[in-house]
């Protein structure tokens, strides 16, 4: 009798699971949408990532709530803004005893896994399987922490290794259950170290410069003055751009510090011996040019920009190739139709706009993130949406796709009905933003922001400075309208929206009273 009951229960579960899709969430690190050809054709071709747009939906207006790594990851797990999930900056540890999206999925019978970058200081919880990079992780022969707590070294290039590990797990998972897999790449994060085959392809290319590459950032607000994310001034020759220190050691204006020299030595020691000569040969071209031409100022920026973009895009090429490996795997195993696939980044990234690299600012370049989603049979191929969505929405969306109720404490909205076309818009006209991390790295002043479809208001609260941008007439956010008499009504209205969101999301600790 009991056996019969068990059998009925098992059959019921199987039927239930058969209807529950698998979900693969792929997130790379610092991958700006401009470096995906589905968004922008001027820099790189990414046919595999584009396949998700072709066979699914592309979000033109996906944003984060705090443009930095750890916070974006904690938001993915909780569907909450930083002040609620506790990870307001990269130094904070995620309290893994908290309830989270993976724990809810696990309780609903899903098999859960996370592989790759984690960066939340505590170990993952709510996952049946995990294998993570310690901290930022390494590009070459990365170390990986296993569930036993042991750290192993895996030979190979990080983006390939993380995908190998993912496919290994997909092969040995319990195939009777649906799964949710978080695949988190390290690339194309700083110091942008490419696989040799893609460096070969990209190091000879010349890329178009953004319109604001040579913008004067010193005579604007305090935040623009204080930031240290300038390609010309802050991007380092021997680490970021892999110039052999031997070429620039004796040139005062290029002289590398000990960190850069140590990095160059370490990375060249780590690359496979067979490739080392070629890596050095390619990068020697940069050293020779500096030694022989001694460019400075704009001329130097011109070269640094090209070298930066070459390496960055070559890293992206590996990410694209490896997204292709996952999609091929799904095809081969006939899992494509039963699996929803999402691709995104932890946030956007400056690719030379304002002369900058890095992220952090509430400006669209860094607040925006790519988001593509394929879910066969549910999302119409080739769909595009301009609805404003935010990374607080990812956890509710994944739960909703899995058929698991979204708890009230999550602050995001499920995008399921938006992507399946059952709902035309989300009931939300403004997005909330709060950046906290004021550190030596890039020294971006903390700020609050509110983004509507037309205007954005930013408040750098530690220096009491405001900015207002008209995103329609000034999408590059170059003209601060805060003091313009014609915009004072808009300023008041946006301030009211900011206060409303602050109350709604219950964020009252850091910024004090707004006035
Ligand atoms: C490192 C980088 C920074 C970067 C932060 C945060 N410096 O500290 O450029 O902003 O990580 O990046 S480095 O010299 O160590 O490369 S994040 O993606 O983890 O948020
Ligand atoms: Ca990042």
Per-residue pLDDT tens for 370-425? Answer: 999 999 999 999 999 999 999 999 999 999 999 999 999 999 999 999 999 998 88
Q: What is the pTM of this model?
A: 0.96
Instruction: Find the 78 Cα to ligand 1 centroid distance in Å.
Output: 23
Index of the ligand 1 atom closest to the CA of residue 136: 19
Nearest to 21 by CA among 108, 99, 103: 108
Nearest to 341 by CA among 350, 352, 331: 331
Tell me the C-alpha distance between 243 and 280, whole Å: 9
Per-residue pLDDT tens for 100-133? Answer: 999 999 999 999 999 999 999 999 999 999 999 9
Instruction: Find the 370 Cα to ligand 1 centroid distance in Å.
Output: 20
Q: Is 29 in the pocket of ligand 1 (CB under 6 A)?
A: yes
Index of the ligand 1 atom closest to the CA of residue 358: 10
Q: Is 360 in the pocket of ligand 1 (CB under 6 A)?
A: no
Residues sharing a CB contact under 8 Å with residue 96, sequence separation 6 or more, in sequence order: 120, 122, 123, 124, 125, 126
Give me the pLDDT at residue 19, please: 76
In Å, how far are 337, 405, 474 from 26, measured between CA atoms? Answer: 17, 23, 32
Give me the pLDDT at residue 5, please: 55
Give me the pLDDT at residue 515, please: 62
- Ligand nearest the Cα of residue 32 is 2
Instruction: Find the 161 Cα to ligand 2 centroid distance in Å.
Output: 19
Per the prediction, the chain carries an average pLDDT of 96
Asked if 65 and 81 touch (Cβ cutoff 8 Å), the reply is: yes
Per-residue pLDDT tens for 302-316? Answer: 999 999 999 999 999
CATH topology of domain 433-505: Arylsulfatase, C-terminal domain (3.30.1120)
Nearest to 23 by CA among 427, 400, 370: 400
Return the SS3 of 228: coil
Stretch (H or E) spanning 344: strand 339-345
Instruction: Find the 3 Cα to ligand 1 centroid distance in Å.
Output: 56
**Phi, psi of 407, rounded to the nearest 5 degrees:** -70, 150
Domain boundaries, the chain: 2-191+316-428, 196-309, 433-505
Instruction: Find the 254 Cα to ligand 2 centroid distance in Å.
Output: 27
Per-residue pLDDT tens for 75-90? Answer: 999 999 999 999 999 9
Nearest to 231 by CA among 165, 306, 287, 176: 306
Give the whole-number percent of the chain exceeding pLDDT 90: 93
Nearest to 159 by CA among 129, 177, 137: 137
Alpha helix ranges (H) inside 108-214: 158-172, 196-202
Asked if 162 and 94 touch (Cβ cutoff 8 Å), the reply is: no
Give me the pLDDT at residue 324, please: 99
Instruction: Find the 313 Cα to ligand 1 centroid distance in Å.
Output: 18
Return the SS3 of 343: strand
Give the closest residue (by CA) to ligand 1 atom 13.
Answer: 190
Q: Is 431 in the pocket of ligand 1 (CB under 6 A)?
A: no
Per-residue pLDDT tens for 353-369? Answer: 999 999 999 999 999 99
Give the mutation target among 29, 71, 190 for probing the ligand 1 site: most ligand atoms within 8 A of CB.
190
Stretch (H or E) spanning 284: helix 273-293
- Ligand nearest the Cα of residue 240 is 1
Instruction: Find the 349 Cα to ligand 2 centroid distance in Å.
Output: 8
Q: Is 374 in the pocket of ligand 1 (CB under 6 A)?
A: no
Q: Is 401 in the pocket of ligand 1 (CB under 6 A)?
A: no
Instruction: Find the 441 Cα to ligand 1 centroid distance in Å.
Output: 7
Nearest to 65 by CA among 95, 42, 96, 88: 88
Q: Is 68 in the pocket of ligand 1 (CB under 6 A)?
A: yes
Q: Is 358 in the pocket of ligand 1 (CB under 6 A)?
A: yes
Give me the pLDDT at residue 424, please: 87
Does the pLDDT of residue 248 top 50, yes or no?
yes
Give me the pLDDT at residue 511, please: 74
Q: Is 442 in the pocket of ligand 1 (CB under 6 A)?
A: yes
Tell me the C-alpha distance between 22 and 181, whole Å: 8
Residues sharing a CB contact under 8 Å with residue 29, sequence separation 6 or more, in sequence order: 69, 117, 184, 185, 186, 187, 188, 189, 345, 346
Stretch (H or E) spanning 364: helix 364-367
pLDDT class of 12 with cuts at 50, 70, 90:
very low
Per-residue pLDDT tens for 166-209? Answer: 999 999 999 999 999 999 999 999 999 999 999 999 999 999 99
Tell me the C-alpha distance between 447 and 445, whole Å: 6
Index of the ligand 1 atom closest to the CA of residue 190: 16
- Ligand nearest the Cα of residue 442 is 1
How big, in percent rounded to 5, are the helix, strand and coil portions of the chain?
Answer: 40, 15, 45
314-330 mean pLDDT: 99
Give me the pLDDT at residue 7, please: 53
Q: Is 89 in the pocket of ligand 1 (CB under 6 A)?
A: no
Instruction: Find the 188 Cα to ligand 2 centroid distance in Å.
Output: 9
- Ligand nearest the Cα of residue 137 is 1
Q: Is 90 in the pocket of ligand 1 (CB under 6 A)?
A: yes
Give me the pLDDT at residue 13, please: 47
Give the whole-number percent of the chain exceeding pLDDT 70: 96
Q: Is 437 in the pocket of ligand 1 (CB under 6 A)?
A: no
pLDDT class of 512 with cuts at 50, 70, 90:
confident
Question: Which one is the CATH code of 2-191+316-428: 1.25.40.10, 3.90.1150.10, 3.40.50.10680, 3.40.720.10?
Answer: 3.40.720.10
Q: CB within 5 A of ion ligand 2: which residues?
A: 29-30, 69, 346
Asked if 336 and 330 touch (Cβ cutoff 8 Å), the reply is: yes
Tell me the C-alpha distance between 342 and 76, whole Å: 12
């Amino acid at each position: 009798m009991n056996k019969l009951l068990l059998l009925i229960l098992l059959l019921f579960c199987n039927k239930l699971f058969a209807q529950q899709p698998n979900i693969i969430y792929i997130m790379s690190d610092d991958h700006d949408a401009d470096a995906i050809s589905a968004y922008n054709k001027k820099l790189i071709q990414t046919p595999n990532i584009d396949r998700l747009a072709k066979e699914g939906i592309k979000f033109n207006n996906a944003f984060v709530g705090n443009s930095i790594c750890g916070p974006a990851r904690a938001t993915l797990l909780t569907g909450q803004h930083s002040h609620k999930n506790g990870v307001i900056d990269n130094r904070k540890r995620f309290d893994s005893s908290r309830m989270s999206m993976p724990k809810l999925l696990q309780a609903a019978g899903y098999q859960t896994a996370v592989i790759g970058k984690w960066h939340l200081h505590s170990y993952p919880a709510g996952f049946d399987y995990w294998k993570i990079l310690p901290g930022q992780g390494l590009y070459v022969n990365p170390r990986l922490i296993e569930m036993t707590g042991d750290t192993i070294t895996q030979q190979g290039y990080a983006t390939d290794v993380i995908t190998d590990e993912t496919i290994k797990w997909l092969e040995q998972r319990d195939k009777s259950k649906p799964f949710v897999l978080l695949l988190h790449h390290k690339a194309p994060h700083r110091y942008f170290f490419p696989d040799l085959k893609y460096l070969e392809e990209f190091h000879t290319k010349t890329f178009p410069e953004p319109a604001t590459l040579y913008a004067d950032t010193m005579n604007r607000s305090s935040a623009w003055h204080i930031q240290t994310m300038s390609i010309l001034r802050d991007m380092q020759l021997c680490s970021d751009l892999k110039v052999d220190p031997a070429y620039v050691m004796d040139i005062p204006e290029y002289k590398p510090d000990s960190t850069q020299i140590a990095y160059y030595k370490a990375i060249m020691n780590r690359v496979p011996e067979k490739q080392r000569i070629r890596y050095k040969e390619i990068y020697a071209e940069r050293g020779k040019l500096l030694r022989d031409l001694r460019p400075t100022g704009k001329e130097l920026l011109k070269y640094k920009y090209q070298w930066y973009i070459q390496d960055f895009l070559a890293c992206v090429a590996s990410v694209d190739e490896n997204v292709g490996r996952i999609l091929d795997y799904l095809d081969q195993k006939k899992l494509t139709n039963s699996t929803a696939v999402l691709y995104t980044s932890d946030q956007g990234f400056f690719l030379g706009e304002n002369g900058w690299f890095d992220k952090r600012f509430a400006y669209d370049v860094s607040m925006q993130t790519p988001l593509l989603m394929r879910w066969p049979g549910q999302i119409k191929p080739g769909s595009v949406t301009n609805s404003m969505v935010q990374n607080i929405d990812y956890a509710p969306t994944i739960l909703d796709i899995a058929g698991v109720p979204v708890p009230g404490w999550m602050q995001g909205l499920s995008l399921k009905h938006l992507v399946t076309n059952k709902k035309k818009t989300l009931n939300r006209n403004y997005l909330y933003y709060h950046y906290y991390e004021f550190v030596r790295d890039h020294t971006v002043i903390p700020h609050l922001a509110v983004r509507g479809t037309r205007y954005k208001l930013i408040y750098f609260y530690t220096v009491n400075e405001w900015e207002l941008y008209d995103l329609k007439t000034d999408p590059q956010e170059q003209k601060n309208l805060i003091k313009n008499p014609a915009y004072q009504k808009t300023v008041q209205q946006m301030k009211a929206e900011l206060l409303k969101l602050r109350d709604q999301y219950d964020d009252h600790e850091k910024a004090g009273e707004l006035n």
